[in-house]
């Protein structure tokens, strides 16, 4: 059973470009979470999604950031018109979504560098 997959592992973008980060949850998991980790800091919650639904996006910046988790395919975190401050590690986690199984399993992360 493969773990949470994220790609790319490293992404370099110039200011103003778009960044697309992908996350494939573990098999059987229907809940996906995105976290951002700035250098030397802990992880900060961004958004929580179930298939085709955004459940909680209270941690997402209001502009330029969006997330989706379609019925088929991976979850996508999209950052438009990137700025240097977007440089960070972005982690995706998944969970089964069952009440007694709320442990989140993390992917290896995508390290975004904005030049």
Partner 1 sequence: SQQGEEDPQALSIQEGENATMNCSYKTSINNLQWYRQNSGRGLVHLILIRSNEREKHSGRLRVTLDTSKKSSSLLITASRAADTASYFCATDAYNFNKFYFGSGTKLNVKP
Binding site for partner 1 (CB under 8 A): 31, 33, 35, 40-45, 48, 55-56, 58-59, 91, 93, 95, 102-109, 111
- Residue 102 Ramachandran class (φ > 0 left, ψ -120 to 50 alpha, else beta): alpha
Nearest CB to partner 1, comparing residues 35 and 69 = 35
Minimum gap (Å) between residue 13 Cβ and partner 1: 19
CA-to-CA separations, 58 to 16, 35, 41, 78, 111, in angstroms, rounded: 24, 12, 19, 16, 22
Minimum gap (Å) between residue 83 Cβ and partner 1: 23
């Amino acid at each position: 059973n493969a773990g949470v997959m994220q790609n790319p592992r490293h992404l370099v973008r110039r200011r103003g470009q778009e960044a697309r980060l992908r996350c494939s949850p573990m098999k059987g998991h229907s809940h996906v979470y995105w976290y951002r980790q700035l250098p030397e800091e802990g992880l900060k919650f961004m958004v929580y999604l179930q298939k085709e639904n955004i459940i909680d996006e209270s941690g997402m910046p209001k502009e330029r950031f969006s997330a989706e988790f379609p019925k088929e395919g991976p979850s996508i975190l999209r950052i438009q018109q990137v700025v240097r401050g977007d440089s960070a590690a972005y982690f995706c986690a998944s969970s089964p979504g069952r009440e007694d199984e709320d442990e989140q399993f993390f992917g290896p992360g995508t390290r975004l560098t904005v030049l």
